[in-house]
Amino acid sequence: VESLNHQMAKKEAKGYQYQVLFAVPCVARYFAMLGGENLESRLLSTQIPEHLAVNAFYGFLEVGPTLGKNDEIHNRSHNASIVMCAL
């Protein structure tokens, strides 16, 4: 969430306003948090700006961007992670 907020802040400083967030956590995260009803939703809601509408669903193998050296972005497959895309 920190890298998402960092990237959003850079664009918002230039006048862009994000409105929607798609969040795709790995289903392995769900199984790791069994017994914690809505645990991930509650954690994310404390870290994501209130003005964003959020759409989230569990997936198997998330493909999403990874920030590399010199702010280069590369698509990678992830496991037991969460991929977020703000529009």
The C-alpha angle with vertex 61 and arms to 59 and 66, in degrees rounded to 5, equals 110
pLDDT tens string 25-84: 888 877 887 767 778 788 888 888 888 898 888 888 777 778 888 888 888 777 777 888
pLDDT at 83: 80
- With 0.75 as the threshold, say if the pTM is over it: no
Question: If we measure between CA atoms, which residue out of 10, 11, 84 comes closest to residue 48?
Answer: 84
Place of tokens 């790995």: 26
